[in-house]
Amino acid sequence: MDLMKILAEKAKARFCRVVYPEATDSKIVEAARIAVTRGIARPILLGSAEKITSSGIDLTGMEVINPKTSTNVQKYAEAYAESECFPVSTMSKMLLEPLYYAAMMIRTGDADAMVAGLTHTTEEVILASEMLVGMVDGVSTPSSFFIMHVPDWDGGEDGLIVFADCAVVTNPSVQELAEIAITTASSVRGLLGWEPRVAMLSFSTKGSGTHPDVDKIVEAVSIARQRDPGLLIDGEMQADSAIVASVAAKKIKGGSKVGGRANILIFPDLDAGNIGYKLVQRLAKAAAYGPVLQGFARPVSDLSRGASVDDIVGVTTIVGARTT
């Protein structure tokens, strides 16, 4: 399954307006040029026009906006201040920063998605997005997921499996774990069209180990089931019980609709998630697409600060294919 080709077709169908608040970096402009050429997005580049054009890259099909001279700053500031009881003068100053201007463009519908993180930290991207883009109704915790494509593996969905959370929430509470599971399932439905089968991972499978950390997973499963009764979710379970049918058959008494066939793995904390995806990436030579931020009212994605042009194009394709 060529995941990126599938997502590119979805992105082409949506052809959304993607705003890039770090467009003074030539890698962003080059990636935006590729996005236009492939028809996967309509880029909006933020920053000094002089710096953006100095790359020498053809800007046909792109919009260039300098927040420091934009006439929309006052309008945006007044709109935000009115809805959030926030000082207009303070917001006007904040909107001179391209990251906040980009987030406000999404809030007002002047852009459909944002790609940032090349020169900003994940924390900065999340803070701006939480404040201005806002969260999906019922979601209070931003999180992330990776789409892993494992070569020569017939598990998950034709060798694809989703890992969460591997980049944002360090030590999630019981409620946050449940929310990460529900949010990831929703993201997977919308982006990939799968019927989610969610495994909540632990060092224990169905009581084989006892510890407060195990109790935490069991409680998170219970909360997720209460909040989304139709969701196929199970746990606690070890990774092999989640993805290997023969192991699940031995370890899970009474069977499980998820065990042995999970297509979403929810890790208990960021240590496990980050270590897990990198081990699979390196040892199994898997492609790791992400981290993809989730939980925001509109698509927002965070780049690694070492991202290549191809990485930026890939992230643009993903946000272009998403509905939220």
pLDDT digits (tens, 9 = 90+) for 145-160: 999 999 999 999 999 9
pTM given for the model: 0.89
Mean pLDDT of 270-289: 94
At residue 1 the predicted structure's pLDDT band, cuts being 50, 70 and 90, is low
Mean pLDDT of 24-44: 97
Cis peptide leading into residue 165 (ω within 30°): yes
Q: Supply 16's token pair.
A: 């959304």
Q: Percentage of residues in the chain with pLDDT exceeding 90?
A: 90
The CATH homologous superfamily to which domain 143-288 belongs is Isocitrate/Isopropylmalate dehydrogenase-like (3.40.50.10750)
Q: Give the whole-angstrom CA distance, residue 145 versus residue 292.
A: 5
The residue ranges of DSSP E strands in the chain, in sequence order, are 17-20, 42-46, 63-65, 113-116, 143-149, 160-164, 197-201, 232-237, 264-266, 287-294, 300-302
Q: Residues 119, 21, 3, 195: what is their CA dihedral angle, to the nearest 10 degrees? A: 110
pLDDT at 324 over 90: no
Task: Give the type of residue at 178.
Answer: A
- The CATH topology of domain 3-134+296-321 is Rossmann fold (3.40.50)
Q: Are 127 and 142 in contact (CB under 8 A)?
A: no
Q: Percentage of residues in the chain with pLDDT exceeding 70?
A: 100
pLDDT by residue (tens digit) across 216-262?
A: 999 999 999 999 999 999 999 999 999 999 999 999 998 899 999 99
Q: Supply 222's token pair.
A: 């219970």
Tell me the domain boundaries of the chain: 3-134+296-321, 143-288
Q: What are phi and psi of 292, to 5 degrees?
A: -105, 120
Mean pLDDT of 287-306: 89
User: Do the first three CATH levels of 3-134+296-321 and 143-288 match, i.e. the same topology?
Assistant: yes
